[in-house]
Amino acid sequence: MANEPYENDQVVNDVEQPVSQPEAQPQLQEVYTTQEALSHPQTKQLKKLRYFDLSTRRNFMGYWFILPFAIGFLLIYLPALIEAFRFSTHDIITSSGTMYTLETNKEGLWYYYNTALVKDPDFIRGIWESMASMLLNVVIIIIYSLLMATILNRNIAGKSFYRAMLFLPVIVATGIIATAENFEVTTNMVQDIEAASAGASGSIFNEFGIEQLMMSLNINDTLSGIVIAAIGNLYGIITCSGVQLIIFLAGLQSISPSIYESATVEGATWWESFWKITIPMISPLILVNTVYTIVDSFTQYGNQVMDEIYKLISENASYSDAAARSFVYLAVVGVLIAIVVPVVNKFVFYENK
Amino acid sequence: MEATEKMPVKKQSRFARKMRSKMAKSGLVQLSSNFLCHVILIGIVFMILFPFIEKLCTMFLSYEDLADTTVQYVPKNWSLDTLRETMEAMKYWTSLTHTVLLCVLSSVLQTLSCTLVAYGFARYKFPGRGILFACVLLVLLIPPQVIMTSLFMNFSFFNFLGLPTLIAGAPINITKGVWPFILMSVTAIAFKNSLYIYMLRQFFRGLPTEIEEAGMIDGSGHFGVFFRLMLPNAVPMMVTIVLFAFSWQWTDNYYSALFLDGGEFLPLSLQLNAIKAYLPNDTRITPNYREALVGTGILLVIAPLFLLYLVGQRFFVQGISQSGIVG
């Protein structure tokens, strides 16, 4: 190092070492001609190093900060994902307890995909059904949480209490309750039906009553079906929309009141300023909430396809089938998000654009 | 923080006053619309709380009351038998200790690693940042069930960089213990960690760069700036993340069942299943009684979390709204 003819290499090396020196360095000569020095590999290395200005070298520090995630992703998550994909195209031969080897299926590499897509009538139907109910739920959840956020944004007494209560399901109502209650329902079906019918005769405001009402008003079947499904699923909707509600509420509070004030001065009614000010200002959050709701509803416990996959693993121990199905499902979700996001994005109003 | 929060409220109330004076004659409209809001909100709060209230009522019913069809919610004979029996079935205090240990450990580790990673993503424009952040989002989007089996196999035959083979001579089985949780927490790929990274990244992006520059001029290194200047600023946000990680780990059934089932270290969420296994030994078994036991079990799992929520409620709600997902 000491006999190198470049005076400022010391300085450069002192600051940062983002690029390692070449491992095999050529033998250093005592004296260089200019031409030789310029074409020396180490000069090129140094030149390259000097091109990284201070901010670039500073940015290399970022790698140290994200190192935990990089290790976790590259050494634990990604191998597991690849292994899962290999499961889906191979037979798993278990031998000696928990040891296993993978063998190519005799009926072809895509055998399990074939089973899932062609031979299993339930799977494709399940995907369509969960997608349909998901799209319906997304619309209802967005409307519901926007409505609730608007109400909570008013100056009503006990606002913070209501806010805390509406967010409660996000914390406490998760997988374990669903699992345990699921157990209750299956063992106790008869009593549930009894209780339901007892409740139905007692109140006017129930699904059946509304169905009757809608039939007598001659509202068409599709619309009444949607309304009835929404009412039947009301508890599910309420428990699913805690996060969305808080996001909307924060968005509403960030809209400057002076916009409303000037609109009122110009003679806008509350209704007009809601559609002309609130909705455009909050539309980026509608996009955020839509994506969040889609992902949430696809991964949550109780999703039809997820349950089927879980059942394949826990009851039939057919890991290859389950892996193939979950990859198909993943692709469907990916495609759906890729379609929905640009569509919703068209209606989003960006202030700074 | 408080000043900025109060300001819009004040302005809004002035605006509301203006509106009210404008429609002074329609004060009745205002009153009735407020009333309507309260009716809707109370109805929804009731729907949310009802399952818990119902279970709480069932908990105090005696065995005779459970068989009695005329008793619906209010017990005729108060008794704590159900509670006692459920606690016995769940080995409540032991598994509560396990759960607290597991949750504290993993939530603290997750928060530290996620903060570090989020800061790196927020403040440094290193090459490949886009791709790596896309990986963070990928982890968020892929349902954990997809990699369930292979992850289990991975930890059953754990061979990280070949080190276990080097030391012990063979891959080791680290399931049925807390090691998988520690590893996944430290490397920020545990349950919902991508969401925490996203929230914290947005938060760090909102902090002024001047803090950092001032620290650098005064001679701190990159990590010095991070630990001494950035972390103190991020404490409220980190408390939020700790609380979220803690409560989602508490109610997590998926990873616990995967890594801890069949072992000695059983948290509460797994002991709920033990109630079902406990049932056949009981001679007085009826469907009603079984339901009461499971219901009480759920209540017992949720109760500590509920208390935590009442104390830290402010952080849960504010954390999401201030994380900058919005702006």
pLDDT one-digit tens code per residue, B256-284: 888 887 778 888 888 887 777 675 555 66
- How many Å apart are CA A80 and CA B134, to the nearest integer? 18
ipTM of the complex, rounded to two decimals: 0.78
- Count the alpha carbons within 13 Å of B300 in the hemisphere toward its beta carbon: 31
Q: Contact B247/A175 with Cβ under 8 angstroms? A: no
Of A163, A254, A257, Cβ closest to residue B11: A257
Binding-face residues of A in 279-318 toward B, CB within 8 A:
285, 288, 295, 298-299, 301, 306, 309-310, 313
Is B316 within 8 Å of A167 when comparing Cβ atoms?
yes
Is B15 within 8 Å of A261 when comparing Cβ atoms?
yes
- Model confidence at B110: pLDDT above 90: yes
The pLDDT score that the predictor gives to residue A190 is: 41
**Three-state secondary structure readout of A137-177:** HHHHHHHHHHHHHHHHHCCCCCHHHHHHHHHHHHHHCCHHH
Closest CA to A299 of A321, A326, A318: A326
Q: Contact B174/B211 with Cβ under 8 angstroms? A: no
Candidates A77, A144, A290, A308: best to mutate against B (most CBs of B within 10 A) is A77
The pLDDT score that the predictor gives to residue B105 is: 93
- pLDDT-derived band at B23, boundaries 50, 70, 90: low
The pLDDT score that the predictor gives to residue B96 is: 92
| Model confidence pLDDT, tens digit, residues A27-36 | 666 667 777 7
The pLDDT score that the predictor gives to residue B234 is: 85
- How many Å apart are CA B279 and CA A83, to the nearest integer? 39
Candidates A19, A76, A310, A337: best to mutate against B (most CBs of B within 10 A) is A76
- pLDDT-derived band at A244, boundaries 50, 70, 90: confident
Distances (CA, A) of B66 to A331, B164, B191, B291: 49, 55, 39, 10
Closest CA to A322 of A145, A121, A132, A87: A87
Q: Max alpha carbon distance in chain A (Å)?
A: 103
Output the CA torsion sign for A339, A344, A347, A350: negative
Which residues in chain B have Cβ-Cβ distances shorter than 8 Å to A167? Answer: 313, 316-317
- How many Å apart are CA A347 and CA A286, to the nearest integer? 10
What class is the A115-346 domain? mainly alpha
The pLDDT score that the predictor gives to residue A29 is: 62
Closest approach of chain B CAs to the CA of A75, in angstroms?
A: 8
Of A62, A72, A306, Cβ closest to residue B145: A306
Q: Of the segments A80-84, A228-232, A295-299, B100-104, which one has the largest average pLDDT value?
A: B100-104
Candidates A65, A170, A294: best to mutate against B (most CBs of B within 10 A) is A65
What class is the B84-322 domain? mainly alpha
- pLDDT-derived band at A302, boundaries 50, 70, 90: low
- Model confidence at A95: pLDDT above 70: no
- The neighbouring-strand residues paired with B172 are B158
Is A180 within 8 Å of B272 when comparing Cβ atoms?
yes
- pLDDT-derived band at B324, boundaries 50, 70, 90: low
Of A72, A181, A319, Cβ closest to residue B187: A72
Q: Of the segments A216-220, A293-297, B69-73, which one has the largest average pLDDT value?
A: A293-297
- pLDDT-derived band at A198, boundaries 50, 70, 90: very low
- Model confidence at B147: pLDDT above 70: yes
Closest approach of chain A CAs to the CA of B78, in angstroms?
A: 23
| Model confidence pLDDT, tens digit, residues B34-91 | 888 899 999 889 888 887 888 888 888 877 777 777 777 787 778 888 888 888 888 8
Q: Contact A304/A130 with Cβ under 8 angstroms? A: yes
- How many Å apart are CA B56 and CA A130, to the nearest integer? 34
| Chain region(s) in chain A for CATH 1.10.3720.10 | 115-346
Domains of chain B, by residue range, sit at 20-82, 84-322
- Phi then psi for residue A29, to 5 deg, are -90, 165
Is A257 within 8 Å of B12 when comparing Cβ atoms?
yes
| Model confidence pLDDT, tens digit, residues B116-132 | 999 999 888 888 888 99
More confident residue, A47 or A196: A47
Average pLDDT, chain A: 75
The pLDDT score that the predictor gives to residue A206 is: 53
- Model confidence at B303: pLDDT above 90: no
CB pairs under 8 A between A and B: 252
